[in-house]
Amino acid sequence: MIAIALALAATLGATAHPTPKVVLVKHADFIRQTLPDAKRYLLRTVTIGKEDLAAIRKTSNFTPDDPDVQFFLGEGDDARTVGVVLFQQINTPHGPIEVGLTFGPRGAITTATVTTATVETKPWVQDAVGAGLMKRFVGMRQGDDASKALGGLDGKLGGMPQYMAELIATAVGRGMALYGTLYKESAA
């Protein structure tokens, strides 16, 4: 009895209960799948300065939580960048959602995918994705209004999936602002 008690006590040592996240696509898989021509991968960390922060606020009306933004670069055979990946998180009362964005050499989105949701949000996110939302972001670039992707979804989604779609569009808009402002091909 004592042994059972000790074993149970050991397993119940901490009892904070976060709303669990659900990884829909692993970061490494997303990078590999959306940069198929890449032969080498690089991680570029940009620490935001005052000028760029002002520009981000002006274009997207948002202030990043973290001053360090990570870009995942894929390089081809000729050492030229074939694409850049950015993961943009947005918090909701039901847990965080993360969107993976791949930008092509011309600076437009080539792939947008929800990479992380939570147990609660996953079915709503899947409804929004199933309605074709993510394909509507392809081709967008900084300056474009990501919320235009919601235009054709009117009436197709229920309340919570529609809310998720709006949050996803917000995340994409923020991702485009970060990429357009902070990513410079020639940076160190």
Partner 1 sequence: MSVYSLRHANRSVKLAVLLFLLVLGYAYSFAFLMVKTWSGLTPTRVSATYVPSPGMNEMQMSEQSHATTQPLDLGKVPEMQHTVDTNLLIQDSHIHVMMYAVVAALLTLIILGLDWPAWWRDTMIVAAFATGALDFVGQWLMNRGLGGFAWLTILSGWGMALVYLIVLYSTVRTLLPGRATESPS
Contacting residues toward partner 1, per CB under 8 A: 1, 5, 8-9, 11-21, 23, 26-28, 31-32, 40-53, 63-67, 72-73, 87, 89, 91-96, 98, 115-116, 182, 184, 187-188
| Cβ-based neighbours of 188, under 8 Å, separated by 6 or more | none
Could you give the CA distance from residue 150 to residue 168 in angstroms, rounded to a whole number? 10
Least distance to partner 1 from the beta carbon of 131, Å?
A: 24
The token duo for 2 is 């004592």
Could you give the CA distance from residue 14 to residue 16 in angstroms, rounded to a whole number? 6
Least distance to partner 1 from the beta carbon of 31, Å?
A: 6
In the complex with partner 1, the residue whose CB is nearer, 35 or 129, is 35
Three-state secondary-structure class, residue 9: helix
In the complex with partner 1, the residue whose CB is nearer, 94 or 136, is 94
Could you give the CA distance from residue 163 to residue 25 in angstroms, rounded to a whole number? 21
E strands in 27-157: 40-47, 68-75, 81-90, 97-103, 109-118
Least distance to partner 1 from the beta carbon of 138, Å?
A: 22
Least distance to partner 1 from the beta carbon of 83, Å?
A: 13
Least distance to partner 1 from the beta carbon of 43, Å?
A: 4
In the complex with partner 1, the residue whose CB is nearer, 95 or 175, is 95
In the complex with partner 1, the residue whose CB is nearer, 26 or 135, is 26
Spatial contact of 88 and 175, defined as CB atoms under 8 Å apart: yes
In the complex with partner 1, the residue whose CB is nearer, 63 or 147, is 63
